[in-house]
């Protein structure tokens, strides 16, 4: 059975890479991973505004080994539109219900992936050297920078 690399593992590699070229090579290696592109767009696309910016109280999954939990960013990234301001997927959700759904998602993800999910919603990454410019070099047309 082939191993599917977790999104968090891709970002660990980028975080550890010493040069911009190395970081770019890692992104290029995983350029066909749709969940990665969804994540990067959610993180950097200035047109995407998130309804949730504050991290809710939740119990992170620190016991299940990464990759063995029932949920992952591969599952959640295509569904995150419920948290996008003005998106029809979440239009009928009341703020309390939206927050409750976020807590469920965060608690179902590995702690690393839950942190990444919140970083995306806050539009603030802790991954060294991962910038919008770098992402657009590897994925031209993924989104447009403001003013471009």
Neighbours of 70 (CB within 10 A): 9
Q: What whole-number distance in Å separates Cα of residue 99 and Cα of residue 93?
A: 10
Q: Is the pLDDT of residue 147 over 80?
A: no
Burial of 122 (0-12, 13-18, 19+ CB in 10 A): middle
Region 123-139 average pLDDT:
97
Q: What is the pLDDT of residue 70?
A: 81
19-63: per-residue pLDDT in tens? 999 999 999 999 999 999 999 999 999 999 999 988 999 998 888
Rounded to 5 degrees, φ, ψ at 143 are: -165, 175
């Amino acid at each position: 059975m082939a191993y599917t690399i977790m999104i968090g593992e891709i970002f660990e590699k980028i975080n550890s890479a010493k040069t911009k070229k190395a970081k770019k090579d890692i992104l290029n290696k995983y350029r066909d991973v749709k969940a990665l592109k969804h994540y990067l767009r959610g993180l950097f696309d200035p047109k995407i505004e998130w309804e949730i910016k504050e991290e809710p109280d939740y119990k992170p999954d620190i016991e299940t080994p990464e990759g063995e939990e029932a949920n992952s960013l591969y599952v959640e990234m295509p569904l995150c539109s419920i948290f996008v301001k003005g998106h029809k997927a979440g239009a009928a959700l009341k703020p309390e219900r939206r927050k409750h759904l976020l807590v469920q998602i965060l608690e179902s993800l590995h702690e690393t992936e839950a942190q990444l999910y919140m970083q995306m919603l806050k539009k603030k990454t802790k991954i060294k050297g991962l910038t919008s410019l770098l992402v657009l070099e590897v994925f031209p047309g993924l989104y447009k920078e403001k003013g471009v």
